[in-house]
């Protein structure tokens, strides 16, 4: 059963990934995968996500050449080289960013090569060459609709260095998950220069450090999550920010009303596919457990051998291990410590 239940109760850990997968889909990310390639070539990029926001990342050691006009872009992050191409135009959305990271270079183009930000009356015009003093290097530096200068012949003036602007929050919430709470927040400002610290208190006065999350490279905003586990009863969670100079400030404190004062048996999902889907289980008390699946006639449809599990251990089963036909079943988990848990599931 250890293998089977290690297919059944990984749910606690997987839950955060599953629940937050929808948020990840908010961005479609194109990441360069060749040392030299054209922008328009599908072979130049690895693609992840399927959301409406579009981000391009050019990795260190890679050169991507703009061989077409580009539009509908939210973020371009350059660690390698972006060759702008002769007479080419890249149009970035109103709140988008083009970021030249440390070691990155924006180069090439002609006097008809342009970077356009929707909503800005100004454009950044090439060529981006050493000869004209317009090669964009010395990152991290970024350009947005707000930094683009009236002097379109001054690309250097439109790319500004990353100063330590204060990070502010546009949203923060605590979401109840299957076996944990998840702190979710969106930070505004140059969060790539910050580290977020999470502190927990059960009385609102005495806080302990729970963990930290590094800021990402977003200039305008970034989404973050942190799982809070092992807290019983209501609690406070405080989010802090520390910049690279060691300056710290508290961003927000949330109170979470938690009625769960003891660990509980959990199994999910209860609506499963007949094969290939992971079923997760969390055992509240350590002991040796056996899982038996009964049909509605109380005939054994599947069972595992007894295995030893620790308190709150996450166990994962795959539905194909149970080989169940469509219908309703009762899952019974029996422990040698006298504990018995029952859950009804439906196989579709």
Q: Which of 189, 221, 256 is the last residue of a domain?
A: 256
Looking at the structure, do residues 45 and 151 belong to the same domain, yes or no?
A: yes
Q: Last residue of a domain, which of 256, 291, 320?
A: 256
Please report whether residue 307 resides in a domain. yes
Same domain, 248 and 321: no
Tell whether 139 is covered by a domain.
yes
Same domain, 226 and 278: no
Q: Are residues 78 and 123 in the same domain?
A: yes
Residue 140 and residue 56 in one domain: yes
Is there a single domain that holds both residue 151 and residue 61? Answer: yes
Asked whether the beta carbons of 338 and 29 are under 8 A apart, the reply is no
Strand partners of residue 173: 184
Which of 233, 256, 279 is a domain's end point?
A: 256
Integer angstrom CA distances of residue 64 from 60, 126, 279: 11, 17, 43
Instruction: Flag whether 2 is in a domain.
Output: no
Q: What's the pLDDT at 24? A: 38
Q: Are residues 66 and 103 in the same domain?
A: yes
Residues 120, 63 share a domain:
yes
The answer to whether residue 9 sits within a structural domain is: no
Average pLDDT over residues 240-248: 77
Parent domain of 221: 168-256
Least confident of 39-43, 56-60, 85-89, 233-237: 233-237
Residue 16 CA to residue 181 CA, distance in Å, equals 9
If one counts every other C-beta atom within 10 angstroms of the C-beta of residue 71, the result is: 13
- Three-state DSSP class for residue 158: helix
Report the alpha-carbon distance of residue 123 to residue 115 in Å, rounded.
Answer: 6
Q: Domain of 202: which CATH number?
A: 2.60.40.730
Of residues 141 and 64, more confidently modeled? 64
Q: What is the pTM of this model?
A: 0.49
Mean per-residue pLDDT, 15-31:
51
Q: Does 13 fall in a domain? A: no
Report pLDDT for 178.
Answer: 60
CATH number at residue 300: 2.60.40.1930
Same domain for 97 and 54, yes or no, is yes
Tens digit of each residue's pLDDT (9 = 90 or more) over 188-227 = 766 666 788 999 988 888 888 888 888 776 655 678 888 8
Asked if pLDDT for residue 10 goes beyond 60, the answer is: no
Q: Output the pLDDT for position 26.
A: 54
240 and 298: one domain?
no
17 is a domain residue? no
Which residue would you say has higher pLDDT here, 179 or 187? Answer: 187
Residue 198 and residue 72: Cα distance in Å, rounded? 36
Note whether 230 and 303 are same-domain residues: no
| 220 and 130 within one domain | no
Q: Is the dihedral of CA 4, 8, 13, 15 positive or negative?
A: positive
> Into how many domains does the chain fold?
3
Kindly report, residue by residue over 103-114, the tens digit of the pLDDT: 999 999 998 999
Whether 1 maps to a domain, the answer reads: no
- How crowded is residue 337: how many other Cβ atoms within 10 Å of its Cβ? 11
Which position has the higher pLDDT, 47 or 263?
47
In a domain, 138, yes or no: yes
> Is pLDDT above 90 for 340?
no
Q: Read off the pLDDT of residues 266-286 as tens digits, 9 standing for 90 and up.
A: 777 777 777 677 777 777 777
């Amino acid at each position: 059963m250890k293998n089977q239940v290690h297919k059944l109760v990984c749910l606690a850990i997987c839950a955060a990934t599953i629940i937050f997968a929808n948020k990840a889909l908010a961005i479609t990310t194109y990441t360069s995968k060749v040392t030299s390639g054209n922008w328009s070539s599908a072979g130049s990029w690895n693609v992840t996500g399927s959301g409406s926001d579009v981000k391009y990342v050019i990795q260190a050691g890679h050169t991507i050449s703009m061989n077409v006009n580009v539009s509908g872009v939210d973020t371009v992050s350059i660690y390698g080289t972006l060759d702008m191409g002769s007479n080419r135009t890249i149009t970035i959305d109103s709140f988008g960013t083009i970021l030249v990271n440390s070691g990155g270079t924006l180069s090439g183009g002609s006097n008809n090569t342009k970077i356009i930000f929707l909503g800005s009356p100004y454009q950044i015009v090439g060529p981006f060459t050493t000869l004209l003093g317009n090669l964009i290097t010395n990152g991290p530096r970024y350009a947005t609709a707000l930094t683009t200068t009236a002097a379109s012949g001054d690309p250097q003036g439109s790319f500004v260095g990353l100063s330590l602007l204060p990070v502010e929050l546009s949203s923060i919430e605590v979401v109840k998950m299957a076996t944990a709470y998840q702190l979710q927040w969106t930070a505004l400002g140059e969060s790539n220069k910050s580290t977020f610290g999470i502190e927990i208190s059960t009385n609102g006065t005495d806080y302990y450090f729970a963990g930290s999350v590094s800021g990402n490279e977003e200039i305008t905003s970034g989404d973050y999550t942190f799982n809070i586990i092992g807290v019983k009863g209501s609690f406070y969670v405080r989010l802090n920010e520390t910049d690279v100079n060691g300056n710290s400030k508290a961003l927000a404190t949330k109170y979470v009303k938690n009625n769960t004062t003891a660990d509980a048996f959990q199994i999910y999902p209860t609506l499963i596919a007949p094969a290939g889907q992971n079923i997760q289980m969390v055992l509240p008390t350590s002991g040796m457990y056996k899982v038996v699946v009964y049909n509605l006639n109380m005939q054994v449809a599947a069972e595992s051998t007894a295995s030893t599990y620790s308190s709150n251990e996450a166990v994962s089963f795959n539905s194909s291990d149970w080989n169940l036909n469509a219908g309703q079943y009762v899952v019974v988990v029996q422990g040698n410590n006298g504990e018995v848990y029952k859950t009804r599931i439906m196989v579709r």
